[in-house]
Amino acid sequence: MKKVLIAYFSLAGMTAKMAEYIAEGVRLSGHEAVVKKIGDIKDTAEMTEYDGCIFGAPTFSLDLPKPMKTFLSTAAKVNLEGKLGGAFGAYTHDVAYRHDTHAPAIIFDILQKEHKMEPFALGPFNLPETKVETSEGMHACHDYGKAFGETVSS
Ligand SMILES: Cc1cc2nc3c(=O)[nH]c(=O)nc-3n(C[C@H](O)[C@H](O)[C@H](O)COP(=O)(O)O)c2cc1C
């Protein structure tokens, strides 16, 4: 059984909810999922215990929230090279459909360029906050987590 970390920052709870649903999806694939707020990860070295990591944050001002930026930069000192990396988060509006202005795309890019993680084939996962607590939103999160679990074990 593989072990997947889902580490997130969430101000109003939408990205937190996505984290729980994604974890359920990983478990549906038969693997272990651990969900943590980034603020509860005191020593980023603990991330080396996992086979794959999925990081979540909402989009704030077309960017990452500062706590996630700081966390990822601290985590860059830890060797995560070759581990599978995914990203997710809630948002409210599209800017001319430029998904590179959403937090998950920014995280995904950092994971590849700075952490040398292996990019998860489904890419970054954005969900409008109005969909998070719908059955469609929950299933989309389950699917992302399940596919991540299946990939990490292949
Ligand atoms: C300060 C601030 C800036 C925001 N900027 C954006 C933005 O640029 N684009 C966007 O789509 N949503 C933006 N939002 C909306 C959040 O991304 C959205 O409400 C999200 O669901 C919050 O996630 P959370 O519940 O995990 O904190 C912003 C929200 C806040 C509080």
Q: Is 53 helix (H, G, I), strand (E, B) or coil?
A: strand
Pocket residue to mutate for ligand 1, from 10, 17, 61, 126, most atoms within 8 A of Cβ: 61
Interhelix angle for 135-152 vs 14-28, to 10°?
A: 50
Task: Name the stretches of the chain with pLDDT < 50.
Answer: none
pLDDT of residue 63: 93
Interacting residues of 91 by C-beta distance below 8 A, sequence separation 6+: 58, 59, 102, 103, 126, 127, 128, 129
pTM of the predicted structure, to 2 decimals = 0.97
How does pLDDT run across 73-108, given as a tens digit for each residue? 999 999 999 999 999 999 998 776 677 789 999 999
Domain enclosing residue 111, as ranges: 3-152
Beta carbon of 56 within 6 Å of any ligand 1 atom = no
Taking CA atoms only, the protein residue closest to ligand 1 atom 14 is 60
Report which of 87, 68, 88 is spatially closest to residue 128, judged by C-alpha positions: 88
Domain count, the chain: 1
Token readout for 46 is 């603990």
| Domain containing residue 8: CATH number | 3.40.50.360
Beta carbon of 91 within 6 Å of any ligand 1 atom = yes
